[in-house]
A and B are shown apart, each in its own frame.
Chain A
Amino acid sequence: MEIHKIEGIIEAVLFAAGDAISVDKLSDITKIDKPTLQSIITRLADKYDTEKRGIKIIKIGDKYQMATKDEFSEYIQKIVPPQKRNPLSNATLEVLAIVAYKQPVTRSTIEKIRGVNSDNSVTRLVEIGLIEETGKLNAPGRPALFCTTDDFLRSFAIESISSLPPIDGFIIDDDGQTTLGSGED
């Protein structure tokens, strides 16, 4: 199959689906192996970029989705009024960080790391759809396991969990201060 045709198929399928489509599914549709397909999608995404189009193709975990480019947000806001949300509390954000790096993770693991009960934060994160219960740990009491969602990747503009900076990269130097981040407090 010609590369242009494959690009066309991917474009059409992503447009029709709206929602994110996995590489597996796209590979199924086009009968093209995944590595080749991924490079074709990357090429297509680059094309959108260089041709100054209004849309882009983004990667969410192992899925691809069409989205509008950030630079046009002010125009889109004229047809889609923005939704407001209060920033997450420090505690909730800490829980989110733990889930993001330690997933799948139980409530008790989160509590152990933070040294304080975190059920409210977990509930809040599930409520706003940033984390979800993905199963049960095969241990006494069968505690729920939590993972981050595609919505988490989308709203934090993170490509995939594996693309997060390594947790050990948040260095604590000898005087117990400073980090990769822009400082504390």
Chain B
Amino acid sequence: MKQISFKLEIFEGPLDLLLHLINKNKLSLYDIPIFEITEQYIDYLAEMEHFDIEVSSEFLVIAAHLLYIKSKMLLPKYDEDAADEDDPQVELAQRLIEYKRFKQASLFFREREFAGGLTFYKMQEYIQPMLIDESLSQVELSHLYGAISEVAERIKYRRPISNSRFKAVAGKEVVSVFSRVKAILSKLKRFNRVCFSDIFKGMKTKSEAVASFLAVLELIKLNRIKIMKKDGKSELRYVKGKC
């Protein structure tokens, strides 16, 4: 069994590994010798497997890409085609340069990682809100005394309210339609016929009159009485056979 005599470095990803190989061989990023690098790259993957390190798919993607570039370089080039196509080798170099820039930018951040640690800040905290005396701020005891005295004075000179003031509200007499129906029927019983206007004779309130009129309408509707015209006057009479 082959003796393993070197330490296997851990890389952040396939691009990191490629950069390492380029660096190790002191090569230029702008002119990568694809053949050598591909070989070394694949050797490394084999070693990873040897160490039982799972080779993630991302490493294989780049391996495939390297092989693709390699195979492309082996094929004869036709100049008119080549102009149109993006050179995968250039593309790879650009990707490596971009990655390397960020890798180096990360070193810049590494240096500053705890740079702000010596500065102390306060975060937004509870601020005691200002207490504002609202509108009553100018009121003194004497103002209150003056106000209550004024009210007391006004009450003193007020006369008791006369009962007539309440009539419109409390003085209403409820007159039921039913009571008027009874009255009309008893009148008819006595006089057999009653003049329409006589029903309203001697009435004092509006509600009495309204109730009487409604009673007349109700009796007509029930077909108990009818209205006849006689000598230019309306007369109420019993409907025949209904007494």
Q: Say yes or no: is B115 at the interface (Cβ < 8 Å to chain A).
A: yes
Q: Say yes or no: is B100 at the interface (Cβ < 8 Å to chain A).
A: yes
Total A-B pairs in contact (CB under 8 Å)? 144
When the two chains form their complex, are residues B118 and A113 in contact, meaning their CB atoms are under 8 A apart?
A: no
Q: How far is B61's CA from A66's CA once the two chains are assembled, in angstroms?
A: 50
Provide the residues of chain A in CB contact with B29, threshold 8 Å.
Answer: 172, 176
Provide the residues of chain B in CB contact with A101, threshold 8 Å.
Answer: 102, 105
Provide the residues of chain A in CB contact with B91, threshold 8 Å.
Answer: none
Interface string of A112-131 (1 = CB under 8 A from B): 01111100000000000000
Q: How far is B122's CA from A17's CA once the two chains are assembled, in angstroms?
A: 9
Look across to chain A and name the residue whose beta carbon is closest to the beta carbon of B9: A185
Q: How far is B117's CA from A73's CA once the two chains are assembled, in angstroms?
A: 9
Interface residues on A, range: 35 or more
How close is B130's CB to chain A, nearest CB, in angstroms?
10
When the two chains form their complex, are residues B56 and A157 in contact, meaning their CB atoms are under 8 A apart?
A: no
Interface string of A43-76 (1 = CB under 8 A from B): 0000000000000001000000111111001001
Provide the residues of chain B in CB contact with A73, threshold 8 Å.
Answer: 117-120
Look across to chain A and name the residue whose beta carbon is closest to the beta carbon of B119: A67
Beyond A97-B105, A176-B28, whether A87 also contacts B113 by CB under 8 A is yes
Q: How far is B29's CA from A181's CA once the two chains are assembled, in angstroms?
A: 18
- Which of A58, A116, A158, A180 touches B104 (beta carbons < 8 Å)? A180
Provide the residues of chain B in CB contact with A113, threshold 8 Å.
Answer: 95, 98-99, 102
Q: Say yes or no: is A182 at the interface (Cβ < 8 Å to chain B).
A: yes
The interface stretch among A2-10, A31-39, A132-140, A162-170 is A162-170
Look across to chain B and name the residue whose beta carbon is closest to the beta carbon of A21: B124
Provide the residues of chain A in CB contact with B107, threshold 8 Å.
Answer: 179, 181-182, 184
Provide the residues of chain A in CB contact with B123, threshold 8 Å.
Answer: 18-19
When the two chains form their complex, are residues A100 and B124 in contact, meaning their CB atoms are under 8 A apart?
A: no
Provide the residues of chain A in CB contact with B120, threshold 8 Å.
Answer: 67-68, 73, 76, 80
Q: How far is B121's CA from A155's CA once the two chains are assembled, in angstroms?
A: 11
Q: Say yes or no: is B114 at the interface (Cβ < 8 Å to chain A).
A: yes
How close is B90's CB to chain A, nearest CB, in angstroms?
15
The interface stretch among B12-20, B138-146, B180-188, B207-215 is B12-20
How close is A84's CB to chain B, nearest CB, in angstroms?
10
When the two chains form their complex, are residues B108 and A180 in contact, meaning their CB atoms are under 8 A apart?
A: yes
When the two chains form their complex, are residues A175 and B115 in contact, meaning their CB atoms are under 8 A apart?
A: no
Q: Say yes or no: is B36 at the interface (Cβ < 8 Å to chain A).
A: no
Interface residues on B, range: 35 or more
- Which of B13, B15, B100, B102 touches A98 (beta carbons < 8 Å)? B102
How close is B131's CB to chain A, nearest CB, in angstroms?
15
Q: Say yes or no: is B30 at the interface (Cβ < 8 Å to chain A).
A: yes
Look across to chain A and name the residue whose beta carbon is closest to the beta carbon of B121: A67
List B residues 51-80 near A (Cβ within 8 Å).
Answer: 56, 58, 61-62
Interface residues of chain A, those whose CB is within 8 Å of chain B, are: 16-19, 58, 65-70, 73, 76, 80, 82, 87-88, 90-91, 93-94, 96-98, 100-101, 113-117, 154-158, 165, 167-168, 170, 172, 174-177, 179-182, 184
List 27 A-B pairs, Cβ < 8 Å.
A16-B127, A17-B127, A18-B124, A19-B123, A19-B124, A70-B119, A73-B120, A88-B113, A90-B106, A94-B102, A113-B98, A113-B102, A115-B14, A115-B15, A115-B61, A116-B13, A116-B14, A155-B115, A155-B117, A158-B112, A165-B108, A176-B23, A176-B29, A176-B30, A177-B23, A179-B104, A181-B104
Contacts A67-B120, A157-B119, A175-B28 aside, 13 further interface pairs with beta carbons under 8 A come to A17-B124, A18-B123, A93-B109, A94-B102, A96-B109, A116-B16, A154-B116, A155-B114, A156-B109, A175-B26, A176-B22, A177-B23, A184-B23
